[in-house]
Amino acid sequence: DQQVKQNSPSLSVQEGRISILNCDYTNSMFDYFLWYKKYPAEGPTFLISISSIKDKNEDGRFTVFLNKSAKHLSLHIVPSQPGDSAVYFCAASDSRGADGLTFGKGTHLIIQP
Amino acid sequence: DAGITQSPRHKVTETGTPVTLRCHQTENHRYMYWYRQDPGHGLRLIHYSYGVKDTDKGEVSDGYSVSRSKTEDFLLTLESATSSQTSVYFCAISESLSRGGVNEKLFFGSGTQLSVL
């Protein structure tokens, strides 16, 4: 049973516009959420995170929003750039444990020129 | 970049043969993880380690074993490889927090592409 869900396998956005990637989770024990970016033939790299005590975290062009009541988070990229084309993974953690992160299946973001 | 080296980067092997993948870190981080990435499944945890000789199973541990005899090395072994173990394998590390617990942010290696024919 998937605990972290990314229901859009792919997303195409025009350069300069906003990209919105969505993620839902089912485990109410998750209290820390992260987004990773992955290029082909490379390992995932950390992008941005948010603790469950917050509802928004911003880092440059990237903003993550968390709606705990809906068990939903989203990643906004504004403006989208060609280098943003990659697979984005949503991940979640129960910070009381040491058993790593639970990942979604990923969303392939394609930025169109 | 976090100092994580995975070897080999690519391997082709035959069904039934043993295979060992190596992860080496230079960060002296306590926690190490093995994930596999497959189309339609994202990243799934195989095994993890919270210290030398301390390991535990993840979500998809069947058919895999691990060992950690030194802080810097975490080995993943497929005792008898099967075609279903064809995948990209990623090692990850995370550090301890001064207040106790583990930093949830993982740093990943570049991956090992394993093909089992």
Q: Residue A55: what pLDDT?
A: 95
CB of A40 less than 8 A from some CB of B: no
CB of A53 less than 8 A from some CB of B: no
* pLDDT above 90 (res B103): no
Decide if A43 and B108 are in contact by the 8 Å CB cutoff. Answer: yes
The amino acid occupying position A44 is P
pLDDT single digits (tens) B24-83: 999 999 999 999 999 888 999 999 999 999 999 999 999 999 999 999 999 999 999 999
Within a 10 A sphere around the Cβ of B26, how many other Cβ atoms? Answer: 11
Q: What percent of chain A has pLDDT over 90?
A: 89
Computed over every residue of chain A, the mean pLDDT equals 94
Please choose, from the candidates A25, A43, A22, the residue with its C-alpha nearest in 3D space to the C-alpha of residue A107: A22
* pLDDT above 90 (res B104): no
B101 or A36, greater pLDDT: A36
pLDDT-derived band at B114 (thresholds 50, 70, 90) equals very high
Picking from B48, B94, B109, the nearest residue to A43 by CB comes out as B109
Q: How far is CA A52 from CA A26, B17, B116, in A?
A: 14, 45, 41
Decide if A45 and B31 are in contact by the 8 Å CB cutoff. Answer: no
DSSP annotation of B45: E
For residue A64, the Cα-to-chain-centroid distance in whole angstroms is 8
No. of H helices and E strands in chain A?
A: 0, 11
How many angstroms separate the most distant Cα atoms in chain A?
Answer: 43
CB of A1 less than 8 A from some CB of B: no
Query: Looking at residues A69-88, what average pLDDT do you find?
Result: 97
CB of A69 less than 8 A from some CB of B: no
Decide if B44 and A44 are in contact by the 8 Å CB cutoff. Answer: no
pLDDT-derived band at A86 (thresholds 50, 70, 90) equals very high
pLDDT-derived band at B98 (thresholds 50, 70, 90) equals low
